[in-house]
Structure formats: structure tokens, C-alpha cells
Amino acid sequence: MQFIKPGINIDFIGRRKLAFALSVALILATFVSLLWRGGPNYGVDFAGGIVIQVKLEKKHKPSDIREALKPINLQDSIIQEFGGQGASEYLIRVRKTGVKVTGLNEKVRDALTSYFKQGVEIRRVEMVGPKVGKDLRQKALFAIFYAILFIAIYISGRFEHRWLMSIVMALSLIIVVYVASSFGAGVTWLIVIALLVTLGLCWFLKLKWALGAIVALIHDVTITVGAFSFANKEISLPIIAALLTIVGYSLNDTIIVFDRIRENMNRFRRRKFEEVMNSSINETLSRTILTSGTTLLVVMCLFVMGGAVIHDFAFALLVGIFVGTYSSIFVASPILLVWEGRFSDKVKVKKRARR
């Protein structure tokens, strides 16, 4: 099935500078938002503490709920609306130490009922210790990093048949992470250092396909985290699962485009690389739109009708799939063009020097 007729020729590569500017703006906005908020809004899975989900009959301001919790000394809790618009559900995150879970749901119910004079339903009460939360946060970060690392190894072997260079890159990263951790670097800094070293090694070892894929994946994850920061949504274990799903989905779309580019490079050796890339993207455009469109339709149904529990997970997939499709066309592929332009110019200069 072809959604777009053959022979279409949209100049995607010609708009790469505009796309790069948009991507840079979104990434900068993400960093500004994270700095403004003091980092990601970690859920109880990672931050530790107690989370109480309550449902009220009417919608109320978070400040009113804090006032209602004063009699039980929980007025310092973080109150966040939960679910869709008009759901009247709230998450009460208690970060105060020394609070006992036993009987807490009855105390919260009685305090809210007494203040608002209406029925209150306690949906759930969860508690995670700070040490457990920190351990889960570290494992989640390493899961995302290792997923990107193994993808880099796979792409290098799959497209460039340079498995040895991929293994060298992996071993180098293991050494870098070990040395950095021996100096007491935190997990976040370890991931940042490792990703920078990964990109540097891809450039130094001339693993251009892997470089394009990794830049696109980092781009997708960063913007998705930024969307959560702007929407003031929590990063929890299900969201990490969504981010890993986005990494896999974006990679699949990128591989489809890369495959066609490599095929056309062998078929049309006399064409300019820019023309080959543009025609390759246009040839795979129908498949890209159909695959992404049908997936987005299902995720949109989950987002609208899936309920509050799966709402944030579906939101992450909505943003990630859209950005992942965009990055396969406007980020991963133009990185190859930048690479070819840089190194082909060097080759031409060397040939002229020999003459």
C-alpha cells in the first residue's frame, strides 16, 4: 500500500538548516526548563517518599488541599492534578520523613472530608524509601545509556561492517566509565561523559551511520524529557519504559531511511550525495507516514481513553514517536550529509596537494 504516489520529490535536505535550528531551540528550551525546575520531576519511584492518590467530587485548588491537610501536618506536601481534565483526582506526594504509612489513608480521608464536606476516595497509597529510589534512578539511567550504546555497536556492524571498531568503542567506554566512577562521579555525570565519549569515538573512528543514529536518539529522548518538564509531569518507571520504546521505534525508522540511502548510493554513484539522500527519504516517505500514523492513532486512543494510570505513558509515546519520525528525516540523515561534506572535502584537498 502506497499512501504517497511514486515520483514525489520534496526537498527535505534543503530544509535541514531550518530543522537544525528548530531542534537546537527545543533542546535549549529543555535545558532551561530543567534548570529552572531544578531537574526532572521524579516520581516516587525515583525520588522516594509517599504518594497518595485521591479523588474528590469537585475540582479544588492545590492550595486548598494543602490547607485541608494542615491538621495532620502534611501541608508541605506537593499536590499535583492527576488524570484528564475535570477528573478531580490529585496526587499528594509526601516527602516529609518519619511519616508512617499505617493508617495514613484514613487520616487523609478524614481531613479532606472534614474540610471540603464531600466524599473522598483514596485510590492508592505507595511508599518508596530514598535508597531504593536512588538505586532505581541509577538503573534507569544506565538502561537508557546501554540501549543507545548497543544500538551504536549494531549500527556500525550492520551498515559499515566494522564490528572490530564497534568492539573497540565499547571497551573504551567501559574504561572511561570505570575511571570516572573511581573519581567519584555521579551517575548523571557518568552518563553525560559516556555519551560525549561515544559521539567522539564515532567521529574519530569514522562510524558515520552510528553517529547519525546516536545523535537522533539523544535528540528524541532529550525533547521528550523536555515535554515532561514543560507539562510538569512526573518521570517514573513506566516513563522509562516509554523512553526505551521511543529509542527502539526511532531506530527502526532511522534504519529504514539508512537502508534506502545505502542502496541508492550503490545504484547512483554519479549523483550528488545530497540528491541521493533526498530521493531516498522521499521513497520511504509513504512507509514512514503509514507506520507512524497508525501507531500515533493507537497511542492517541490510549491517551484519550486509557485512563489516568496510562495517561503519562501515552503522552511520552505521543511526543516520542512524533519527534522520532521527524529526527529520522531531519536529524539522522543530514548528519550523514555533514559528515560526507567534511571528509570528502579533505580527500579532494589531499588529491590536489599530491598533484
pLDDT band at 187 (very low <50, low <70, confident <90, very high): low
Averaged pLDDT of the chain: 80
Q: Average pLDDT, stretch 168-184?
A: 75
Q: How high is the pLDDT of residue 26?
A: 93
Q: Which range scores top for mean pLDDT: 3-17, 167-181, 254-268?
A: 254-268
| Whole-angstrom distance, CA of residue 329 vs CA of residue 344 | 22
Q: How high is the pLDDT of residue 75?
A: 78
H helices of 98-129, where? Answer: 104-116
Q: How high is the pLDDT of residue 156?
A: 74
Q: Average pLDDT, stretch 253-258?
A: 87
Q: What are phi and psi of 122, to 5 degrees?
A: -90, 110
- DSSP element (H, E) containing 66: helix 62-68
For the full predicted model, state whether its pTM sits above 0.85.
no
Q: Does pLDDT of 140 surpass 80?
A: no
Place of cell 499528594: 92
Q: Which range scores top for mean pLDDT: 156-160, 179-183, 292-296?
A: 292-296
| Whole-angstrom distance, CA of residue 130 vs CA of residue 126 | 13
Which tops the pLDDT comparison, 300 or 345? Answer: 300
Q: How high is the pLDDT of residue 4?
A: 63
271 three-class SS: coil
Q: How high is the pLDDT of residue 318?
A: 93
Q: How high is the pLDDT of residue 25?
A: 94
| Whole-angstrom distance, CA of residue 90 vs CA of residue 79 | 7
Place of cell 483514596: 122
C-alpha cell at 16: 535541514
Percent of the chain's residues with pLDDT above 90: 9
pLDDT, one tens digit per residue, over 22-40 is 999 999 999 999 888 887 8
Which tops the pLDDT comparison, 239 or 346? Answer: 239
Burial class (CB in 10 A: 0-12, 13-18, 19+), 33: middle
pLDDT band at 185 (very low <50, low <70, confident <90, very high): low
Strand arrangement, sheet containing 89-94:
78-82, 89-94, 49-56, 120-128
- DSSP element (H, E) containing 260: helix 237-267
CB-CB contact of 111 with 68 (8 Å): yes
The residue type found at 111 is: A
Q: Does pLDDT of 143 surpass 90?
A: no
Q: How high is the pLDDT of residue 319?
A: 93
CB-CB contact of 249 with 318 (8 Å): no
Q: Average pLDDT, stretch 91-110?
A: 78
Q: How high is the pLDDT of residue 7?
A: 66
Q: Does pLDDT of 351 surpass 50?
A: no
Q: How many Cβ atoms sit within 10 Å of the Cβ of residue 355?
A: 4
Q: Does pLDDT of 354 surpass 50?
A: no
Q: Does pLDDT of 304 surpass 70?
A: yes
Burial 329-345 (b: 16+ CB within 10 A, else e): bbbbbbbbbebbeeeee
Q: Identify each DSSP E strand in the chain by its residue range.
A: 49-56, 78-82, 89-94, 120-128
CB-CB contact of 218 with 342 (8 Å): no
Q: What is the CATH number of domain 13-42+132-354?
A: 1.20.1640.10
Q: Does pLDDT of 59 surpass 90?
A: no
The residue type found at 99 is: V
Q: How high is the pLDDT of residue 353?
A: 43
Q: What is the CATH number of domain 49-128?
A: 3.30.70.3220
Q: Which range scores top for mean pLDDT: 10-14, 105-109, 168-172, 319-323?
A: 319-323
| Domain spans of the chain, in order of start | 13-42+132-354, 49-128
